[in-house]
Structure 1
Amino acid sequence: MKVGITDVAARAGVSEATVSRVVNRRQGVSKKTRDAVEQAMAELGYERQTQGQLVAVVTGFVSNPFFADVAERIGSALAPHGLKTVLCPAFPGGVQEPDFIEALVDKGVAAVVFLSASNTVAGADTDPYELLRQRRVPYVGVNGEFADGVPAPVFSTDDRLAAELAVDHLHRLGHRRIGMVSGPAGNHPADRRVRGFLEAMERRGLADAGRLVVRQSYSVEGGQAAVAPLLAQGVTAIVAASDYMALGVIRGLRRQGRTVPADVSVVGYDGAAVTEFTDPPLTTVRQPADRLALEVARGVLDLVGNREVPTGELLFDPELVIRSTTAPARAAEPA
């Protein structure tokens, strides 16, 4: 027998209109009443209807092909289940994100996906998460764990493994002075990629690798700015923490009169399809956008349907894609 709003209202001792507001996560219901309705829904096995409900995808990198691809794939996976995604461009840790969350919660949003948004920033404001928790709006993170004490499912590419794959590839080609350009300190994925890089270098007996790390913005300009200090350290290969940064590195190397990969090899990260068509085609560590998006969609559907989803981080293996920006080192280098 199918459980309906009438059954939930009778069990919770409230009106059907109140149950409807709770089901659609709208305002105007006290916490005590909301808790009673949610408990009645759980006891009766009531599942929210998803037809026409919105899922917000919050990201600060809409122009980046990888994030656009993941957002599109999430939307495609949710659409057959009656959920529609709305893209919310917001700088991670900025004021736009809380504004989006407050506005969407009042409209009855079904769930929120933080796609490398405030969940990637150390010390980010946790008020939006608290608002979502109070209103029983489920949320998940992609590529970044939430602040301590914020329990939520997170789906991430294994950044440490990504760094290991890049360093291993370059080391096998004979490179020993391998530099890295990563995102700003305090950005969780950037920090993890740096740790993975340093661990990979240490495992191969390459000392003082910390001096070969430059922190910059996740942009073409950030990659370009890292070239001069890395060349000053005598690097023959550079690992970039994004494909955009890698393209900036290549541009910077050319402006310094160096060629890629004859003089310096370059490895990117993300694996957007466009990198196959750059000049030269970019060797990169590809994030599994398809698997990430599918698991995010599954998690959202389960949460919206009041089903349990494990909190904590689920890691996905990246893949090294070897193209034309890496080549053997010109001569054997001292470790």
Structure 2
Amino acid sequence: MDQDKVKISEVAGIAGVSIATVSRVINRKGGVSQKTRQEVERVMVELGYERSSTEGVVGVITPGLAAPIFGYMAERIGLALAPHGLRALICPAVPGGVQERDYVKSLIDLGATAVVFCSASNTLETFDPEVLHLLNTRGMPYVCLNGAFDGASAFSSDDAYAAELSVRHLHQLGHRRIGMAAGPVGNRPADRRVEGFHAVMDKLGITGAEDLVVRQTYSVEGGQFAAERLLTLDVTAVIACSDQMALGAIRAIRRRGLDVPDDVSVIGYDDGPLMEFTDPPLTTIRQPVERLATEVARHLISQLSGREVPAGELLFQPEVVVRGTTGPHPRPAAAR
């Protein structure tokens, strides 16, 4: 049989094992009995299948590694895939850009096993349709994290609920002028958090919330810009849509000669590494990264084993991690 036509799924079918088992044999991983290993090797020889250096590789496309949360997510996905004989290859790229499309092309051409979109073009309302066309026409399995392509499987933090948790935490501390430093328009997680913010503010009977949202980039500079605008509106608390934006908001507050949290409270989102070591430690919404990574790996293994997997987006509940950047509503200056 021509090797170019031999697929890992064919080896698995004839050997009577899962694709994940064949991948373990190909990559010389443990967890396979000697008898099974010998049978898979026999079928590979019979079909003329030769090992490829990219067999068992899963491309994990992220929006870059400057934000610690994406490096952490990619690491956890890699660790969740490893026991199944799969290796994560991290591909940092601007979501929806040419580089992301080039990564997908390269992964397909090199014979990679699957692709994970980790907060990449799957977070955008508009993206390059060629990316999905390439995957679908070549039969490349893929799964999304924190945002879904239409009809695809995805595992995401519940962004609307995250906004509700943030508002309710600050509301319980007495804050009513609560602003949001949100991500850009057209970014699905950011749009959902804004929707959740408006919904809970309405439930709590707080009017004028639509004027207390500033959309900016997910960066320290974006958070600083948004906070500067919000401070002119006399907010006493800022909800930032990423930890980096939260750090930018703290910078803006301090440059005004104000204190966090005595004058203005700040809450972030992600709970990336080192956030407990900032000054003061950052109150934030923690994404359930471990659970998301586990589900991504489980879903991919099911796909590679030929089992039917459900389409649609499964939402996972985040949690508030209370640290030092949120406090009670500030007292009037005269009463201090």
TM-score range, shorter chain: 0.7 to 0.9
SS of the equivalent of 2:224 reads helix
> For the Cα contact (< 8 Å) 2:72–2:273, is it kept in 1?
no
| TM-score, structure 1 as length reference | 0.86
**Matched residue, 1:214:** 214
What CA distance in whole angstroms lies between the structure 2 residues aligned with 1:88 and 1:132? 16
Alignment of 1:31-46 (within 5 A): none
In structure 1, what is the equivalent of residue 52 of structure 2?
Answer: none
> Which residue of structure 1 lines up, in the alignment, with residue 176 of structure 2?
176
Q: Secondary structure at the match of 2:229?
A: helix
Q: Which range moves more in the overlay, 121-130 or 110-119?
A: 121-130
Question: Which residue does the alignment assign to 1:23?
Answer: 8
Distance 1:300 1:262 in 2: 47
Q: Name 2:322's counterpart in structure 1.
A: 322
Q: Find the counterpart in structure 2 of residue 50 from structure 1.
A: 23
Question: Does structure 2 conserve the Cα–Cα contact (< 8 Å) formed by 1:116 and 1:144?
Answer: yes
> Aligned to 1:269, what secondary structure does the other structure show?
strand
Query: Once the 2 structures are TM-superposed, how far is the Cα of residue 64 of structure 1 from its aligned partner?
Result: 1.5
1:154-176 Cα shifts (integer Å, max 9, x gaps):
00000011000000000001100
Structure-to-structure mapping, 1:61-72, within 5 angstroms: 61-72=64-75
Give the deviation of 1:18 after TM superposition: 5.2
Paired position in structure 2 for 1:158: 158
Structure 1 range deviating more: 79-88 or 45-54: 45-54
Give 1:5's aligned residue.
Answer: none
- Provide the C-alpha distance between the structure 1 equivalents of 2:63 and 2:87, rounded to a whole number of angstroms: 20
RMSD: 1.9
1:200-239 equivalent positions in 2, closer than 5 A:
200-239=200-239
| Distance (Å, rounded) in 2 between the aligned partners of 1:249 and 1:82 | 43
Code of the residue aligned with 1:242 in structure 2: it is S
Other structure's SS at 2:180 match: strand
Alpha-carbon distance in structure 2 between the residues aligned to 1:138 and 1:97:
16
Q: Which residue of 2 aligns with 1:251?
A: 251
Q: Aligned letter for 2:8?
A: V
Take 2:220 and 2:267, find their aligned partners in 1: how far apart are those partners? Answer: 14
> Distance between the aligned counterparts of 1:47 and 1:80, measured in 2?
14
Match of 2:299 in 1: 299
CA offset at residue 245 of structure 1? 0.2
Task: Give the aligned partner of residue 82 of structure 1.
Answer: 85
Q: What secondary structure does 1:50 align onto?
A: helix
Where does the alignment leave 5 or more consecutive residues of structure 1 unmatched? 1-14, 25-36
Range moving further from structure 2, 166-175 or 123-132: 123-132
TM-score (norm 2): 0.85
Q: How far 1:23 moved relative to its partner?
A: 3.1
| Native 8 Å contact 1:55 1:110 kept in 2 | yes
Q: Does 1:138 align with 2:141?
A: yes
Residue identity in the other structure for 2:261: P
Code of the aligned partner of 2:314: L
Structure 1 residue 46, shift from structure 2 partner = 6.2
Q: For the residues of structure 1 that align with 2:285 and 2:157, how far apart are their CA atoms?
A: 11
CA distance in 2, matches of 1:77, 1:145: 21
TM superposition shift of 1:130: 1.6
State whether residues 81 and 297 of structure 2, in contact with CA within 8 Å, keep that contact through their aligned partners in structure 1: yes
2:116 to 93, 113, 116: 113
Distance between the aligned counterparts of 2:232 and 2:277, measured in 1?
A: 30
Equivalent position amino acid for 2:257 in 1: G
Partners in 2 of 1:182 and 1:88 — Cα distance? Answer: 26
Identity %: 54
